[in-house]
Amino acid sequence: MALLRHRAVPYVLPFALFIAILAIRGSVPVSESTLYGGWILIAGLALLLVSRPVIDLRLSQPVATIVAGVAVFLIWIGPDALFPGYRSHWLFQNRFTGAVAATISETGRSDTLLLTLRMVRAIVIVPIVEELFWRGFLMRWIIRPDFEKVPLGTYETRAFWITAILFASEHGPYWDVGLVAGAIYNWWLIRTRCLGDVIWAHAITNGCLCGYVLLTHKWEYWM
């Protein structure tokens, strides 16, 4: 119980649960809709019951935040749109990063409930879970283990790039654009000193990406 009272728990627990479900999703004998519904429920409860005191959804710079979110989306799809076959290079698909592959079945692509759940996960859950961990916790913890004494948006070169690189590694074959996205989100937190701006920027990126996937059927972007 003492561990659950640790100051890092509100920042780390939802992310840890999210990654745990990601790791076992292929071996859980349930439907895709059940899996994603459960995923949203578990992460949502963790955010509501454990992380709520540290969640900040305030927007200090709404227009610029929208621009930042859209910019990351364009950077994310840009290389593949401009250079067909770009993502097939061994730098992006190898034994360490994995292969580009859709994580939604062919039948699931026409399942309205499943598509809705995927969008809720991407636009609502992921931005809060990831930003609490990467930029709310890790970027500060690297500077000083007593991270709560480090103001949000404090710049330190080592913390900036370690966080960006680890964020990139989370995105497998898309590590290159993930690195740029991580750097932009890091910079935006430093610029605004407001976690809410980064959460919203991340949500806007993911929302644009969801729309792009549904319009173009490039399902591989849904990791």
pLDDT tens per residue across span 165-208: 999 999 999 999 999 999 999 999 999 999 999 999 999 999 99
H-helix segments, 25-111: 32-46, 62-82
pLDDT of residue 23: 85
Task: Please choose, from the candidates 53, 66, 51, the residue with its C-alpha nearest in 3D space to the C-alpha of residue 14.
Answer: 51
For 58, the 3-state DSSP assignment is coil
147 φ, ψ (degrees, to nearest 5): -65, -25
Instruction: Check residue 182 and give its pLDDT.
Output: 98
Q: What is the pLDDT of residue 123?
A: 97
pLDDT at 22: 85
pLDDT exceeding 90 applies to what percent of the chain?
A: 89
Overall number of domains in the chain: 1
Positive or negative torsion for Cα 77, 81, 85, 86: negative
Q: What 3-state DSSP class applies to 98?
A: strand
Query: What pLDDT, on a 0 to 100 scale, did the predictor assign at position 25?
Result: 78
Which structural domain, as residue segments, surrounds residue 180?
3-221
pLDDT at 1: 53
Residues of the chain with pLDDT under 70: 1-5
pLDDT of 26 reads 73
> What span, in angstroms and rounded, lies between the C-alpha atoms of 162 and 140?
11
Whose tokens are 């964020």? That residue is 167
